[in-house]
């Protein structure tokens, strides 16, 4: 066999090995890299009884004369991030009303600010939230009720 023929044979064999390795490991490597992300999910809250979508990520909803409210559930961290706000002048606090599954509503007093975020541990339940902005005992109307599925 001539030197040129041997070089061509070695080159063809090496090319076939590289191609076969790429075919066999390429998709498998890609699947292994994306597997953890595929197991996690995020779910945005939504207002079952309506409200005006003001945009944002996650979407935020409000009524006239109410703060906005939005939420997102992250299954990897098992938390709900609740976003609320829209008021800053003459604000002493927010009241976040929270309820899960069949429990009674609970009111939580939160610090003032135009843009607030609260992280809630979410152990596989259905959650509902409302928020209102207050100046002393005078408060706005509640925001739209926001439902979040954390199951």
| pLDDT tens-digit map of 42-83 | 999 999 999 999 999 999 999 999 999 999 999 999 999 999
Residues 27 and 100 in one domain: no
Residues 108 and 133 in one domain: yes
Q: 89: pLDDT confidence band, cut at 50, 70 and 90?
A: confident
Residues 63 and 107 in one domain: yes
| Reported pTM | 0.74
Q: What angle do CA 150, 46, 131 make, to 5 degrees?
A: 95
Q: What whole-number percentage of the chain has pLDDT above 90? A: 70
Residues 134 and 84 in one domain: yes
| Residue-level pLDDT at 38 | 65
Residues 96 and 108 in one domain: yes
| Residue-level pLDDT at 82 | 98
Residues 136 and 85 in one domain: yes
Residue 6 has pLDDT above 70, yes or no: no
Residues 69 and 98 in one domain: yes
Residues 106 and 92 in one domain: yes
What is the domain extent for residue 34? Answer: 1-39
Average pLDDT over residues 135-147: 97
- List pLDDT tens digits, range 96-120: 999 999 999 999 999 999 999 999 9
Number of domains in the chain: 2
Residues 76 and 55 in one domain: yes
| Residue-level pLDDT at 88 | 84
Secondary element (H or E) of residue 30:
helix 3-39
Residues 20 and 93 in one domain: no
Q: What whole-number percentage of the chain has pLDDT above 70? A: 75
Place of tokens 């191609």: 19
Q: What angle do CA 42, 44, 50 make, to 5 degrees?
A: 165
Residue 5 has pLDDT above 70, yes or no: no
Residues 85 and 131 in one domain: yes
Residue 60 contacts by C-beta under 8 Å, 6 or more apart in sequence? 53, 54, 68, 69, 70, 83
Residues 95 and 112 in one domain: yes
| Residue-level pLDDT at 33 | 44
Q: 123: pLDDT confidence band, cut at 50, 70 and 90?
A: confident
| Residue-level pLDDT at 8 | 55
Q: In this structure, what CATH number is given to the domain that contains residue 80?
A: 2.60.40.10
């Amino acid at each position: 066999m001539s030197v040129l023929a041997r070089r061509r044979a070695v080159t063809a064999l090496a090319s076939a090995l590289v191609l076969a390795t790429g075919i066999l490991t390429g998709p498998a490597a890609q699947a292994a890299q994306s597997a953890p992300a595929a197991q996690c999910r995020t779910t945005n809250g939504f207002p079952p009884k309506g409200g005006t979508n003001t945009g944002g990520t996650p979407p935020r909803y409000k009524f006239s004369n109410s703060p906005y409210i939005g939420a997102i559930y992250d299954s990897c961290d098992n938390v709900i991030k609740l976003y609320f706000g829209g008021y800053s002048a003459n604000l002493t606090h927010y009241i976040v009303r929270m309820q899960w599954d069949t429990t009674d509503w609970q009111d939580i007093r939160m610090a003032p600010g135009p843009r607030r975020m609260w992280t809630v541990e979410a152990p596989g339940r259905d959650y509902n939230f409302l928020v209102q902005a207050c100046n002393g005992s005078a408060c706005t109307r509640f925001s739209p009720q926001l439902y979040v599925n954390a199951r």
